[in-house]
Chain A
Amino acid sequence: NAGVTQTPKFQVLKTGQSMTLQCAQDMNHNSMYWYRQDPGMGLRLIYYSASEGTTDKGEVPNGYNVSRLNKREFSLRLESAAPSQTSVYFCASSERVQGAGELFFGEGSRLTVL
C-alpha cells in the first residue's frame, strides 16, 4: 500500500511562477488536507476537503487554490509564487467525514521560491 503520495518531492520556483502540487491516496479516505510546515511554526492548514466535491479554507489559504479532482486526488496550486511560500507542504488524508480522525501524511514536497 502506497498510502499518500505527493509529487514533486522538491521544486524550485522563481517569484511569479505557478505550479501545482499533486496528492493521491489509495486508502479510499473521504477527507484530504494540505498543510504547510515552516521552522518553529508547526503545521498550518491551508485547505481541506471533507468529501469529494467539497473544499474549505483552513488557517492560511491566501495565495493558494485547491481542486478535489476525485476521491483519490487533491491538488494544491500556487498561481503566482512568492518567497513567503517557501515551505514544506504536506498532504494528508483521513477516513472520517465528520470530525478530525487520524491523519495519514505523505512524505512532503519541499518548495523554494527565489
Chain B
Amino acid sequence: SQQGEEDPQALSIQEGENATMNCSYKTSINNLQWYRQNSGRGLVHLILIRSNEREKHSGRLRVTLDTSKKSSSLLITASRAADTASYFCATDYAGNMLTFGGGTRLMVKP
C-alpha cells in the first residue's frame, strides 16, 4: 500500500499550545496534502505542498516536507478548542489519485 501513516494516532493538548502531527509515506510523490475532518463531517482541504517545496504556511498552519526522509509534518500554532478534529495527510504518487493515511485525532482542551 502507498498509504501515508500519521503519527501520533491521537494527541491531546491545552488551548494555546502548539500541535505537531507527522506523516510518513513510502514512494516518491508529486504532492502531499493535509485535510481536517470534524466529527461526523466531510474532509476539508488545509494545505498542499509540492514535492519541490520544503515548507509552506497558511495562517496558523505550517507544513514541512522532507522528500529524502519521505515525511511531512503539520504544525498548528496557538491551538484553539475549534481545532479539535481529525487530521489526515494524503499523497499523490500516481497522478489522479490521492491516498490517505489513518489520521491523527487532535483534542484541544479549553
Contacts and interface: CB of A to CB of B under 8 A. Distances in A.
A42 B3 contact: yes
Interface residues of A, number: 29
Contacts of A59: 1, 99
B88 interface: yes
A104 B97 contact: no
A99 to B, nearest CB: 6
Interface residues of B, number: 25
B28 to A, nearest CB: 14
Given A42-B3, A100-B30, A100-B31, A31 B96 contact: yes
A99 B96 contact: yes
A100 B96 contact: yes
Interface of A: 4, 31, 33, 35, 40-45, 48, 50, 56, 58-59, 90, 92, 97-108
Minimum-distance CB pairs A-B, first 3:
A105-B42, A100-B92, A43-B100
